[in-house]
A and B are shown apart, each in its own frame.
Chain A
Amino acid sequence: MSTIILRTIAPYLTALMVLFSIFVLLRGHNEPGGGFIGGLIAVSAFAILGIASGVAPVRRALVFHPMHISAFGLFMGAFAGLPSYFAHVPFMTGLWVSPTILGVKVDLSTPLVFDIGVYLVVVGSITSIALALEERESD
């Protein structure tokens, strides 16, 4: 939309919202949130950017085609279940490592990888839908 007010403010909102979405993603295991909700917030962010600045900038911003991001997320989600093969436990068994980085214990786990996969799938697919629809509208 051709209003400078929105055009000016949208990128910052987008950056903030993406940040917030990652926050929601990462804390999902302990508080409300997780990959899906986080992904939806990110989608909202890109939707705002898309409405404000047009589709092409969003596509450029994402570098990869959103569907490819989504597919990568799915790949990652399925992949997250595989390490358990080598641990002789069933598919998708949560495996945890807690390395200490800079003095802080950080929990890394296959469920987290999986949740990130969920996030990417949601971001990719729904952004793809929104952008495709938006594109049609502007043609």
Chain B
Amino acid sequence: MALGGVDPLLIAVAAPFVAAVAAPFLARILHHNAAWLLAIVPALIFYHFTGYVADVSAGQRFAIGTDWIPTYSVRFSFYIDGLSTLFAMLISGIGAFIVLYSGGYLKGHPDLGRFFSFILLFMGSMMGVVLADNLITLFIFWELTSITSFLLIGFNHKSERSRRAAIQALVVTGGGGLVLLAGLLLLSYVSGQTEMSAILQQGNFLKDSDWYLPILILILGGAFTKSAQFPFHFWLPNAMEAPTPVSAYLHSATMVKAGVYLLMRVHPIFGDTAIWSTILPLFGGATLLVGTILAVRQTDMKLMLAYTTVASLGLLVMLTGISTEKAIEGAVLYLLAHSLFKGALFMVVGTIDHGTGTRDVTKVGGLWRAMPLTFTFAFLASWSMAGLPPAIGFIAKEILYEGTWVADQWHNVLITAVAVVGNALMFVIAFAVAFKPFLGAKVETPKTAHEGSPLLWLGPAALSVCGLVAAIMAHTTGELFIRPMASAIANHPLDTDLHLVPTQWKAPVNLSITTVVLGIVIYLNLDRVRKLIAGILTSIGWGPDQGFDQAIRGIVRLSAFVTGKIQFGRMEGYMTVTIAVMVLTLFVPLYAFNEWPTMPEMPDFAFYEWSIFAIAVVGLIAVLMAANGLVAIVSLGIQGFAVALIFMLFGAPDLSFTQFMVETLSVVILALVMTRLNLAPRDHRRRSQKILDGFLAITGGSVLGLTLMAVTQVQFNDELSVFFNEYSRVIAHGRNVVNVILVDFRGVDTLGEIAVVMVTGLAVLALIRITTPKAVEEETEKADVIKTPIPEQKEGVAS
């Protein structure tokens, strides 16, 4: 199968990305017809995966990959088993039709090429998620789906609602992704493996470990946010701001199932424990109920579908959580069914929207004449969604009831009840979406209703028919897709035998009938139910969606508050904090080691030495006390002078020399500058501030002095100086060791030092010379145009 040494699977993964790059160019040339060309890519990928079906159903697994980052054990590796094959086929197969549908839906849109690009990018990322074997690779594709989803949701970017939905999706799924990252990293750390396939082979190693719960929670954090589980469900309905192809593809058929995929993938490691079977059904069930209840409440068809998607995802999570073989089978079947019917229904709603200009279910009716094809496929798809035979949805529902109805435990009863209520409500929505707009009296719509182009109906047609065919050929479907995938999830071979017609009249059939009856009852009382739910929601008055806004605003406000406290803008405060930190920095080690330097008897200084110290101190005090800047400058001279003399007393003539020069020049420059500076004698500080500053000054001086004392009381290593003394004259031909150090032993220091001096000169020149920015700039900009250097102002005299 190798193609130039590269496995075709890698090409299949890469192909959408390549196509994404090409898309804008194609769209520029072919406009919406580029869809035909671009759809070939997913179609070919789909075709490629059909090649695996036989082998996979025979129980084979493939790990294919190439080294990516050997140093960090990251491989560009993929794992093909029943689970990934079905997902990959759904993604590529539905993807092909979505590309076509996009061409029709966004015909004439100026950014169509970009749209294709994003869709294909997403497709590639999603393929990556379900195929990836390496945990890091998996995560990367996971995050890429979040990113592309962000771009697609915000496609109508001028609308604030779109932008909000986009960033909301990014925040929730991206945030969840970060949690997942931690989980995956820990998983890899604990298992010692980087490849999912290798971890799966280790089987139950984690279930008794202390790491089990933390890692599980982290992974659930990723999965629940991505798959819109309550209470993170709110982003998904908002994501409906995206163009319909996006909703159909990302937010029902594929991306939102990534979380479910992940749960199914890690099921062998985490599944079938008490924790697993408690948490997942709990959240899944809650999501199912919340989703369906909120769906019923809507009148926007797209939103109705969106909420039922939430509900379906809840159902899938719930089933995965139950962990029994039947439940897993049910989950797989329902996943397949849902992808087909929901993708189709979204496209149908899009077509209605496209054809009539509205999506409000109360504002359309009797469209079947105008849109016969659309109606047909809508009918087929919703039949499946309603769970009625002979659609795949029916089989799925039967199996899932088998899975839930293990009536040995009370909580399974509860779960089943939830499933029944949920399914009944989905039945209601299915009919509300499929029949209400098409049947009944014709209602005037913003646009005159018309059938869509083939680009628009091909997708619904294919998906809904697929649903039908899959159900009719139930056995084959089961053999080729359901059993391999369920086996992969269970991590051991299952024997599945699917039939369209139930072989035995058992509890599931009864439950199905209950579901339908309940559904019909609710459908007939839809308006009342809607009002009831609306009333309840109004009385609650809050939901996670508002919570999101509040959280974001809260974060921003908190940030502004904290930042205002930290970066408060007053220089004096900045300095105070800095000095306080310095004092602490020095005090703590002294205190922690409890090593205070010893104070010897009075140091033996000569009288004149004392007097020079005294002069230094008097100079300092004079600077501190100076009534005004002038006096301070002169006093500054005293201490500098004293320091120079100190250097001289301790055998440092070069230093003394330099200190005299530098001090004098400092004072001179200070005087030059001061001529124009206002020298108000005030010290702006309040008394309390002065006390604080004085405290900091005294403690700061003390800790520095003490540290220095402590340092100098350690035996000194004068190796370096001995070396310098020894070779200064002999090799470096200089008798002044200090100067030899400066220009030879440590000449590079001096090189840097003169760089400092040079730059200082230039910087000061810039400071002084660039005076009126506006005027000068205008002048020079003009000069730029005519390409002649402007004459030097002022300094031109010299040259």
Residues of A within 8 A of B (CB): 28-37, 40-41, 43-44, 47, 56, 59-60, 62-67, 70-71, 73-74, 77-78, 81, 91-92, 94, 96, 107, 109, 111, 114-115, 117-118, 121-122, 124-126, 128-130, 132-137
Residue among B748, B750, B753, B762 facing the most chain A CB atoms (10 A cut-off):
B750
- Annotate B227-238 by CB proximity to A: 1 below 8 A, 0 otherwise: 000000000000
A65 touching B795 by the CB < 8 A rule? yes
How distant is the Cα of A59 from the Cα of B753 in the complex, in angstroms?
A: 25
Interface residues of B in 698-756 (CB under 8 A from A): 732-736, 738-740, 742-744, 747-748, 750-751, 753-755
Cross-interface CB contact of B758 among A36, A64, A74, A91, cutoff 8 Å? A74
A129 touching B743 by the CB < 8 A rule? no
- Known contacts A36-B742, A47-B665, A67-B761; 10 further A-B pairs (Cβ under 8 A): A29-B743, A30-B735, A33-B739, A34-B654, A37-B654, A65-B795, A70-B757, A111-B734, A122-B757, A129-B764
Residues of B within 8 A of A (CB): 653-654, 657-658, 661-662, 664-665, 668-669, 672-673, 675-676, 732-736, 738-740, 742-744, 747-748, 750-751, 753-755, 757-758, 760-762, 764-765, 768-769, 794-795, 797-799
B669 touching A133 by the CB < 8 A rule? yes
Can you name the residue of chain B whose Cβ is closest to the Cβ of A120?
Answer: B754
B797 touching A118 by the CB < 8 A rule? no
B751 touching A60 by the CB < 8 A rule? no
Residues of B within 8 A of A36 (CB): 658, 742
Query: Could you list 20 examples of A-B contacts with CB < 8 Å?
Result: A28-B739, A28-B743, A29-B740, A32-B739, A34-B739, A36-B742, A37-B661, A40-B662, A41-B661, A74-B754, A74-B755, A74-B758, A77-B751, A91-B748, A107-B733, A111-B747, A114-B747, A129-B669, A129-B765, A132-B764
A137 touching B672 by the CB < 8 A rule? yes
How distant is the Cα of A37 from the Cα of B510 in the complex, in angstroms?
A: 104
A130 touching B757 by the CB < 8 A rule? no
Top 9 closest A-B pairs, CB basis?
A125-B761, A59-B798, A29-B734, A40-B661, A121-B754, A30-B735, A32-B653, A111-B743, A133-B672
B798 touching A63 by the CB < 8 A rule? yes
Given A36-B658, A73-B754, A111-B732: A60 touches B798 (CB 8 Å cut-off): yes
How distant is the Cα of A33 from the Cα of B738 in the complex, in angstroms?
A: 10
Residues of B within 8 A of A92 (CB): 744, 747-748, 751
How distant is the Cα of A34 from the Cα of B744 in the complex, in angstroms?
A: 12
How distant is the Cα of A63 from the Cα of B743 in the complex, in angstroms?
A: 28
How distant is the Cα of A121 from the Cα of B759 in the complex, in angstroms?
A: 10
How distant is the Cα of A128 from the Cα of B332 in the complex, in angstroms?
A: 82
A31 CB → nearest B CB, Å: 6
A137 touching B743 by the CB < 8 A rule? no
A128 touching B765 by the CB < 8 A rule? yes
Residue among A28, A44, A130, A134 facing the most chain B CB atoms (10 A cut-off):
A28
A122 touching B754 by the CB < 8 A rule? yes
B754 touching A81 by the CB < 8 A rule? no
Cross-interface CB contact of A64 among B735, B740, B757, B798, cutoff 8 Å? B798
Residues of B within 8 A of A47 (CB): 665, 668
Cross-interface CB contact of A70 among B740, B744, B758, cutoff 8 Å? B758
Can you name the residue of chain A whose Cβ is closest to the Cβ of B750?
Answer: A118
The main secondary structure of chain A at its interface with chain B is helix
How distant is the Cα of A27 from the Cα of B654 in the complex, in angstroms?
A: 12
A44 touching B761 by the CB < 8 A rule? no
Residues of B within 8 A of A30 (CB): 734-736, 739
Residues of B within 8 A of A31 (CB): 735-736
Residue among B661, B748, B750, B754 facing the most chain A CB atoms (10 A cut-off):
B754
A73 touching B797 by the CB < 8 A rule? no
Residues of B within 8 A of A35 (CB): 743
B757 touching A121 by the CB < 8 A rule? yes
How distant is the Cα of A128 from the Cα of B732 in the complex, in angstroms?
A: 33
How distant is the Cα of A74 from the Cα of B751 in the complex, in angstroms?
A: 8
Can you name the residue of chain A whose Cβ is closest to the Cβ of B656?
Answer: A32
Residues of A within 8 A of B797 (CB): 56, 59-60
Cross-interface CB contact of B761 among A28, A63, A124, cutoff 8 Å? A124
How distant is the Cα of A60 from the Cα of B536 in the complex, in angstroms?
A: 91
Can you name the residue of chain B whose Cβ is closest to the Cβ of A92?
Answer: B747
How distant is the Cα of A70 from the Cα of B753 in the complex, in angstroms?
A: 13
Residues of B within 8 A of A62 (CB): 798
How distant is the Cα of A70 from the Cα of B672 in the complex, in angstroms?
A: 21
Residues of A within 8 A of B751 (CB): 77-78, 81, 92, 114
How distant is the Cα of A111 from the Cα of B736 in the complex, in angstroms?
A: 13
Residue among B657, B658, B736, B798 facing the most chain A CB atoms (10 A cut-off):
B798
A34 touching B742 by the CB < 8 A rule? yes
Given A65-B795, A92-B747, A92-B748: A73 touches B758 (CB 8 Å cut-off): yes
Given A71-B758, A73-B758, A118-B754: A40 touches B734 (CB 8 Å cut-off): no
Cross-interface CB contact of B762 among A32, A60, A67, cutoff 8 Å? A67
Can you name the residue of chain B whose Cβ is closest to the Cβ of A98?
Answer: B733
B654 touching A43 by the CB < 8 A rule? no
Residues of B within 8 A of A65 (CB): 795, 798-799
Given A37-B658, A59-B795, A59-B797: A133 touches B768 (CB 8 Å cut-off): yes
Can you name the residue of chain A whose Cβ is closest to the Cβ of B742?
Answer: A34
B765 CB → nearest A CB, Å: 6
Given A66-B761, A94-B732, A133-B673: A40 touches B658 (CB 8 Å cut-off): yes
B665 touching A40 by the CB < 8 A rule? yes
How distant is the Cα of A87 from the Cα of B512 in the complex, in angstroms?
A: 95
Residues of A within 8 A of B653 (CB): 32
Given A34-B743, A121-B758, A135-B794: A126 touches B658 (CB 8 Å cut-off): no
Residues of B within 8 A of A59 (CB): 795, 797-798
